[in-house]
Structure 1
Amino acid sequence: MNAPLADTVVLDLRRIPPYERHPMIFSHFAQLLAGDSFELVNDHDPQPLRQQFQAQWPDGFDWQYLEQGPSVWRVRIARKAEARSCCGCCGG
């Protein structure tokens, strides 16, 4: 089992009411700088959350399982750097 990095924020979802989880996670992700990450701890595989990330930030995140059950799932979610063009004005 991989231990969290010393400066990694760990969001343990197991004690948070289900209706509060996704808004809290999305809010935390929105505040990350490119290259930053956080770790989720959950009591089930968070596949629906991954699908929501894919819909909202299709190429903007990395998802890495650190532990996959059967009773605990740990996932590291990182914000990718945004793709940039030369100056942004031509779209090239």
Structure 2
Amino acid sequence: MTRIDVRDLPPSERHATIHAEFADLDRGETLELVNDHEPKPFFYELQAEDPTFDAESYEAEQRGPEEFVARFPKTTASSVVHLDDLDETPHAVVFPDSEPKTVRLRLAAGESVPEHQHPDRQIVLYLVSGEMKLDVGDETRDIETGDVVRFDGEQEVAPHATTDSTALLVLAPRATDAD
């Protein structure tokens, strides 16, 4: 863990110094900051500007009248979520605020999602368990556990569970000609 005490720095130099120290961290490392006040303004600044800041794991504590210690962790290079830990139904976003958008879809036998589109997205659906009929455009596909389907989000899509089913969908932004 890298530790920096900015209490002796002029206030005008603090944020730039902290930014530089945070930028030098490797993924998964934490910057421990000692300051004379809780660094909430810096927290909000970092949260808005640096996607590698793990805001959910931020901690701060007051140790004395003019001593606050805050920990600014950097995200790891990867994230792991167990699908069974996601409670929302029928849709649960696996990695909120991240691209590509990843969604767990859970439908009971006989349930379906009305026809809809995902404009500007390319979609991959992996059927983790169960069986379903998947209407994509003018086609209906029978899919079963282990099947992977790729389709253009501009098309109308409607999944219909024939048995209790769980699917993982990755909705990637459509590449543009400039990409």
Match of 2:16 in 1: 23
> Would the aligned equivalents of 1:60 and 1:82 in 2 still touch at CA under 8 Å?
no
Kindly indicate whether the alpha-carbon contact (under 8 Å) linking 2:38 and 2:70 is maintained by their aligned counterparts in 1. no
TM-score (norm 2): 0.39
Relative contact order (C-alpha < 8 Å, sep 6+): which is higher?
1
The structure carrying a bigger strand percent of its residues is: 2
- 2:93: which partner in 1? none
CA contact (8 A) 2:15 2:42 kept: yes
1:22 and 1:14 mapped to 2: Cα distance?
12
Equivalent of residue 74 in structure 2, options 66, 79, 82 = 79
Select which of 34, 42, 51 maps to 2:44: 51
Please list every run of at least 4 consecutive aligned residues from structure 1 whose deviation after the TM superposition is greater than 6 angstroms: none
Change (3 A) 1:44 1:60: closer
User: Deviations along 1:21-69, whole A, 9 cap, x unmatched?
Assistant: 101111111111111112111111111101101111256324111x225
| Range that drifts further, 54-63 or 16-25 | 54-63
Whether 1:39 aligns to 2:32 is yes
Q: Residue 5 of structure 1 aligns with which residue? A: none
Larger Rg: 2
Residues 60 and 83 (structure 1), Cα distance of their counterparts in 2 relative to 1, 3 Å cut: farther
Structure 1 unaligned spans of 5+? 1-7
What is the one-letter code of the residue matched to 1:42?
Answer: N
Q: CA RMSD in A?
A: 2.5
The answer as to whether partners of 1:14 and 1:42 remain within 8 angstroms in 2 is yes
Which sections of structure 2, spanning at least 5 residues, go unmatched?
Answer: 80-98, 100-121, 123-171, 174-179
- The answer to whether the 8 Å contact 1:60/1:81 transfers is no
The percent of aligned pairs where both chains have the same amino acid is 35
